[in-house]
């Protein structure tokens, strides 16, 4: 049985966005849909590097086809806290045609790039987010029910006539 890898807390929201986006574009009936979308995003990113600033999930989708990550080295670095850029960049190999773009992103949007690469790492590892089993709080349901009873009194009989 393989070991389950959990996404660190600081990446969970962006990881959910990434996986949802990838799943929404992977259509068995239209297998080129995802690649066409990524190619389009990547072309726009090449023209305007700030295009995806602040959207590490979308940046991760762009980089999916142009970087290779050493996940075995990178994932342990990021489990107990966010690693530094210097730690992350040593785990990344870049397709030669995209080196200028990645250099620009590293210079101007380093944090977004780092988060995007970490997201890709956990995506490639097939990581999951940890589910919490909290007890249900029924107080809100009771409040809603109380509100309903308030409107089902004498006024309700008046409204039923219509």
Residue 121 pLDDT level (bands cut at 50, 70, 90)? very high
Residue 131 pLDDT level (bands cut at 50, 70, 90)? low
Q: What residue segments make up the domains of the chain, in order of their start?
A: 9-124
- 135: Cβ contacts below 8 Å, ≥ 6 apart: none
Q: What is the pLDDT, as a whole number, of residue 13?
A: 95
Cβ proximity of 60 and 88 under 8 Å: no
Residue 130 pLDDT level (bands cut at 50, 70, 90)? low
What average pLDDT does range 104-117 have in this prediction? 95
Q: What is the pLDDT, as a whole number, of residue 147?
A: 47
- Rounded-to-10 torsion of CA 67, 102, 93, 13: -50
Q: Which of 8, 149, 19, 152 is nearest to 79 (CA)?
A: 8
- Report the 10 Å Cβ neighbour count for 94: 16
Q: What is the pLDDT, as a whole number, of residue 43?
A: 93
54: left (phi over 0), alpha (psi -120 to 50) or beta: left
pLDDT in tens, 8-48: 999 999 999 999 999 988 888 888 888 899 999 999 999 99
pLDDT in tens, 91-103: 999 999 999 999 9
CA 70 to each of CA 88, 118, 124: distance values in angstroms, whole numbers, following the listed order: 9, 11, 10
Q: What is the pLDDT, as a whole number, of residue 65?
A: 87
- Please state, in angstroms and rounded to a whole number, the distance separating the CA atoms of residues 64 and 74: 16
């Amino acid at each position: 049985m393989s070991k389950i890898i959990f996404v660190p807390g600081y990446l969970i929201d962006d990881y959910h966005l990434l996986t949802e986006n990838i799943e929404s574009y992977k259509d068995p009936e239209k297998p080129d849909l995802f690649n066409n979308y990524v190619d389009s995003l990547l072309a726009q990113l090449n023209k305007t590097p700030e295009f995806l600033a602040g959207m590490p999930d979308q940046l991760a989708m762009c980089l999916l086809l142009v970087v290779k990550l050493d996940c075995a080295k990178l994932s342990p670095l990021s489990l107990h806290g966010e690693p530094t850029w210097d730690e992350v960049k040593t785990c990344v190999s870049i397709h030669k045609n995209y080196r200028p773009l990645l250099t620009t992103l590293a210079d101007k949007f380093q944090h977004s790039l780092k988060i995007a690469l970490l997201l890709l790492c956990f995506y490639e590892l097939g990581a999951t987010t940890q589910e919490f089993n909290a007890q249900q709080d029924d107080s809100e349901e009771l409040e809603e029910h109380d509100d309903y009873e308030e409107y089902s009194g004498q006024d309700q009989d008046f409204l039923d006539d219509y």
